Amino acid sequence: MAKKRNIILGFVIGGFAFLFLLFFTIGIIGMLSSRDNGWAGFGDKIAIVEVKGQILDSRDIVDQIRKYAANGSVKGILLRINSPGGIVGPSQEIHDEVIRVRREWEKPVVVSMGALAASGGYYIASAGDFIFANPGTLTGSIGVILQYPIVKELLDKIGVQFQTIKSGGVKDVGSPYKLPSEEDSIMLQRAIDDSHDQFVDIVAQNRGLQREDILKIADGSIFTGRQALEMRLVDSLGGLEDAFAYLAQISGFKKEPKRLEPKERKDRSLFDLLGSLAEEYLDPASSNGPQLMYLYR
């Protein structure tokens, strides 16, 4: 009788232990999948990285790309772009990271353009192995723009003046408190021209086109996806699923691969919202002085 009771007790304890381990494992999986680490289970996968909105900083996107490049289970990266472009430096950093993934990690990167992938958005897209655009996608806008406000006349009317002491004639270039001098304008135009040349060179190099042909359309003009295909700025017409299927094919998948992407937070607090607004509108990188922009206006 005691032996039978021990056996039953052993089954009960074993059952509780099994259930504990089961729920513990499910809990760990749930925690992993709920974080912004893009955890998507075991097996080979395709990672999706989104470039959305104006490009003011590159850190988050570059970090994502590096993480997925170092992940052995990720066999390819799908870059979804829906952006008018942004500041030159961050656009170049994201572009260079895409090139690094392809060359050093030998992982394919396929680009899917959303409604808009213009200027800096196209600069980044050109780094991919293959570019898909919707027929109505707006892309192109190969060019550079620099804008800044001038409030001198307004300040003069209300009796406010700023005293500037500087070490050189163009040290305060881009100041909103003065009208630009001829020397200021010449210097800024040289910087714009050089950034424009870099853009043209990159597109010609990445797309295998002649520099002279790119110069003909590099006046800031915007194109539909269908027009861009005729100009060889993109490789095929299609949406996100077309790009995903193509990437799965060239990555060697025999069946539908798992998708790996950071999960968006749905429980954003008021502090998160205020922080994002501050980052976008008050960040020194985007507000102090004029910025060279690969940006579609």
Nearest one of 75, 74, 67, 66 to 99, comparing CA atoms: 66
In this predicted structure, the answer to whether residue 250 has a pLDDT above a threshold of 60 is: yes
Average pLDDT over residues 23-30: 49
Domain positions in the chain are 41-147+209-263+273-281+289-295
Kindly name the residue from 171, 181, 221, 287 that is annotated as catalytic: 171
Higher confidence at residue 31 or residue 143? 143
Q: Where does the pLDDT of residue 225 fall: very low under 50, low under 70, confident under 90, or very high at 90 and above?
A: very high
Please check whether the domain covering 41-147+209-263+273-281+289-295 is classified as CATH 1.10.3720.10: no
In this predicted structure, the answer to whether residue 213 has a pLDDT above a threshold of 50 is: yes
Higher confidence at residue 284 or residue 219? 219
**In this structure, what DSSP letter does residue 257 have?**
P
Least confident of 9-23, 38-52, 136-150, 223-237: 9-23
Q: What is the pLDDT of residue 241?
A: 96
Return the SS3 of 49. Answer: strand
Beta-carbon contacts of residue 285 (< 8 Å; ≥ 6 apart): 56, 57, 87, 291
In this predicted structure, the answer to whether residue 290 has a pLDDT above a threshold of 50 is: yes
Average pLDDT over residues 266-295: 60
Backbone dihedral region for residue 195 (phi beyond 0: left; psi -120 to 50: alpha; all else: beta): alpha
List, in sequence order, every residue forming a beta bridge with 117; answer none if it has no partner. Answer: 83, 139
Name the one residue in this structure whose structure tokens are 């100041």.
175
In this predicted structure, the answer to whether residue 97 has a pLDDT above a threshold of 50 is: yes
In this predicted structure, the answer to whether residue 23 has a pLDDT above a threshold of 70 is: no
Q: What is the pLDDT of residue 197?
A: 98
In this predicted structure, the answer to whether residue 31 has a pLDDT above a threshold of 50 is: no
Average pLDDT over residues 44-60: 96
In this predicted structure, the answer to whether residue 276 has a pLDDT above a threshold of 90 is: no
Question: Average per-residue pLDDT in the chain?
Answer: 84
Average pLDDT over residues 42-63: 93
Q: What is the pLDDT of residue 32?
A: 43
Task: Mark whether 119 is an active-site residue.
Answer: yes
Q: Are 79 and 112 in contact (CB under 8 A)?
A: yes
Over residues 152-183, the pLDDT tens digits come to 888 888 988 888 888 988 898 888 888 889 99
Kindly name the residue from 119, 141, 175, 251 that is annotated as catalytic: 119
